[in-house]
Amino acid sequence: MVVRAAVAGASGYAGGELLRLLLTHPGIEIGALTGNSNAGQKLGALQPHLLPLADRVLQETTPEVLAGHDVVFLALPHGQSAAVAEQLGPEVLVVDMGADFRLRDAADWERFYGSPHAGTWPYGLPELPGGRAALEGSRRIAVPGCYPTAVSLALFPAYAAGLAEQEAVIVAASGTSGAGKSPKTHLLGSEVMGSVSPYGVGGGHRHTPEIVQNLSAAAGAPVAVSFTPTLVPMPRGILATCSARAKPGVTAETVRAAYEKAFADEPFVHLLPEGRWPATASVHGSNAVQVQVAYDASVGRIIAISAIDNLTKGTAGGALQSMNIALGLDESTGLSTIGVAP
Ligand SMILES: NC(=O)C1=CN([C@@H]2O[C@H](COP(=O)(O)OP(=O)(O)OC[C@H]3O[C@@H](n4cnc5c(N)ncnc54)[C@H](OP(=O)(O)O)[C@@H]3O)[C@@H](O)[C@H]2O)C=CC1
Ligand SMILES: CC(=O)N[C@@H](CCC(=O)OP(=O)(O)O)C(=O)O
């Protein structure tokens, strides 16, 4: 069976990473590629690393152009996906890499995104409890944000096993591609190079409610989250350092056992051997997630650290993994745990 896939937002970072992966997926035929300001341009001018697609011309993002495909990936800015998706039939698998359908709580959406809530779709993080069952056979998928992917995978085992109190503190460092390709002053080389800076401090980042949603579901009770993102001078990668107060009686051994159990059969999430720590360089360009966990007895806290590539597992790889599950394909098809180093 060949699956015909269209990519809306093919000129952007997320769309470009998705195409890089789709080119190696044996079951996919790449159909329409669309953009906005770059419609009419050849892809080779915008994504020169995608040589096999260099002569493909970007089309306008319209329902007519996206019609006639089995799968449509939407790698568009927030708020653009709903209008496109509602024009696509229920038989088409629509995979939204934006935020529009991630949150269950309409009030959270309106508070953090400032527009009416479009709805909630099955969430594309298969490793969460019940995650795969929610995706099987689905024709709509909301791919998680990059920070919620890194943070949720680092912390959910502690909550699912009942080891952590319902409060977490997270500091996560991201490369600049997380902010997309459109020019912004704070992303200029002269601003970013040689500097690390926080942003969205004090609960203001829109990924906070998504992280709360995931951890609360794992805990079966509301989890309060303090989330601070930082921008670091590298193109790709997220390192999330997460900590939560341990419940009474928790030991280093019970924590380790919970994480070993959670990730034992996961194809992409790797709990590192004790004493080794995640690094973004080790997952560059791969769908792998590195996790390590420790129990800091001096303060009674569980410390979980994860590393992902924000463009791969953090969006395009997660999208493809979820598509594979929805279509009944092997989950790892077209995805690699092999990174690029140094
Ligand atoms: N970058 C990342 O690490 C991650 C990104 N995402 C999400 O993926 C989506 C795309 O992000 P990213 O690739 O980084 O962003 P980019 O800015 O790099 O790309 C945006 C894409 O959307 C197109 N576009 C812009 N405005 C419109 C519009 N009004 N209608 C249709 N198309 C439009 C652009 O086309 P053109 O260039 O032709 O104007 C471009 O192809 C976002 O929702 C983002 O939040 C999710 C997780 C991680
Ligand atoms: C470095 C940087 O700016 N990162 C982005 C996160 C991008 C992402 O994952 O996700 P969405 O799909 O939710 O936009 C930010 O903090 O806004």
Under the banding of pLDDT at 50, 70 and 90, the label for residue 247 is very high
With CA atoms as reference, report the closest residue to 162 among 290, 297, 261. Answer: 261
E strand map for the chain: 3-8, 28-35, 59-60, 71-74, 93-96, 140-142, 164-174, 197-198, 224-231, 238-246, 269-271, 289-296, 301-308
Structure tokens at 300: 């009674």
Under the banding of pLDDT at 50, 70 and 90, the label for residue 176 is very high
**pTM score > 0.95 for this model?**
yes
With CA atoms as reference, report the closest residue to 71 among 124, 113, 109, 115. Answer: 124
Please choose from 18, 19, 36, 60 the residue to mutate so as to test ligand 1's pocket, defined by most ligand atoms within 8 A of CB: 36
pLDDT digits (tens, 9 = 90+) for 196-224: 999 999 989 999 999 999 999 999 999 99
Q: Which ligand neighbours the alpha carbon of 95 most closely?
A: 1
Which ligand 2 atom minimizes the distance to the CA of 200?
16
Q: Which ligand neighbours the alpha carbon of 316 most closely?
A: 1
Domains of the chain as residue ranges with CATH: 3-144+313-327 (3.40.50.720), 147-309 (3.30.360.10)
Give the residue-averaged pLDDT of 56-63.
97
188 has a pLDDT exceeding 80: yes
Residue 1 confidence (pLDDT): 77
DSSP three-state, residue 152: helix
With CA atoms as reference, report the closest residue to 218 among 305, 129, 292, 143. Answer: 129
pLDDT digits (tens, 9 = 90+) for 286-340: 999 999 999 999 999 999 999 999 999 999 999 999 999 999 999 999 999 999 9
ipTM for the predicted complex: 0.98
